[in-house]
Amino acid sequence: MTIDNRTLYNTSADQRNITAYSSPDFIHPFSYLHIKIIFIILYGVVFTGCFIGNIGIILLIIKNKALRTRTNFFLANLAVADFCVGIFCVLPNLSTFLSPAWVLGKVMCKLYYFVQGMSYTASILLLTVIAIERYIAIMHPLRSRHLFTFVRLQIAQVCIWLLACCYNIPHLLVFDTVDIITSKGEQMSFCFVNLSDKDMRTLSTVNFVLWYIIPLVSMIIMYTRISITLWRTSHSQSEIRPTFVLYQKNRNVKGSQMKKLLCVKVHEPTDGDDNYKHNMKFDMSNRDTSSSGSGLTARRKVIRLLMILLITFAFCVLPNHLRVLLHYWHIDPPQSAGIGLLPPVSYLLLYLNSALNPGLYWVFSESFRRSLRETFTCRRRKRR
């Protein structure tokens, strides 16, 4: 089998990379030294973030009891998936752009696609389970304590990874190295998928709908309802605080009069306020409004972090999904000078998501920042 220079670029990076080059004199974008240096630096930064950042998150959650919450339990699993991306995918993918042939052998060819698919599937499942857990914890708080036991969390963890592995086992079978004779008479090895374009078109479309559209829409709906509930709760608490102050100043008021005082601000719920009864019970049973307010603030911060994780994930993985779909549906993008950079840029964004997550925990989570400071402070004291 012989191939030209244009096909070399296409197959070396990934057989699914988009080809929109009509000229047979296609020049590999990485033939330019400055482009090669830029992408080596970018891939190096992403690899460092995936490796150091996610190891740090895993160790931080293991060593700090304050971080061992239900949500952080799944975030630790997400860090494991992101770490696998850094180890098995980032640098092997870079090598396919630096060299026109696959130089990492048959085993790595299979592992590269398997781990990439498994980590992505596990990540989207973990984000979905986190959204479900937060939804039940906030919308149905009494049920969550009985539903999310430690044993059930472990079972959910095992099921997520088993499903991610089983769904991507075909990657170990359909991807393999193939020796090809180039137009110059040289023999090169490439990592190919042994499926027809029709099969890959079906597979890529199913993956996009099943592992992107459906989970994303579901999570958007859940987080929207959570946000509305938290906003209504904060609004109800702001209305109840004056009543609570009145209660403190009128301790000697009789029961019937006290009941009127307590209900004066809450007996007119807004239309469609499904949490009216819950808010009444919450405020009647929890006299410490400052502690309830701080708990609500903490919940809102957690939801903000999770929503940012979701937005970042959706933005980073979408270009790669679109690139694959465009290729197998034979939709060629407009030809331009920079079209050759589409494959490496889409991959960089895909892997960048795994490197960004630890940074997002640091920026948007006070508990992670505090635990990290305490960890380093303790180490310094021990050294002294």
**In whole angstroms, what is the distance from residue 139 CA to residue 309 CA?**
21
pLDDT at residue 282 is higher than 60: no
pLDDT at residue 143 is higher than 80: yes
Exposure of 299 in the CB half-sphere (CA atoms within 13 A):
24
Q: Which pLDDT value is given to residue 142?
A: 86
Q: Which pLDDT value is given to residue 241?
A: 52
Residue 181 forms beta bridges with which residues? 187
SS3 19: coil
263-270 long-range Cβ contacts below 8 angstroms, 24+ apart: 265/239, 265/240, 266/236, 266/239, 266/240, 270/232
The CATH number given to whatever domain includes residue 192 is 1.20.1070.10
User: How many structural domains comprise the chain?
Assistant: 1
Q: What is the pTM of this model?
A: 0.80
**pLDDT confidence tier of residue 237, bands split at 50, 70 and 90:** low
pLDDT at residue 270 is higher than 50: no
Look at 50-54, 108-112, 249-253, 325-329 and tell me which has the smallest mean pLDDT. 249-253
**pLDDT confidence tier of residue 384, bands split at 50, 70 and 90:** low
pLDDT at residue 347 is higher than 70: yes
Residue 19 tokens, joined? 């080809």
Q: 354: domain range? A: 5-383
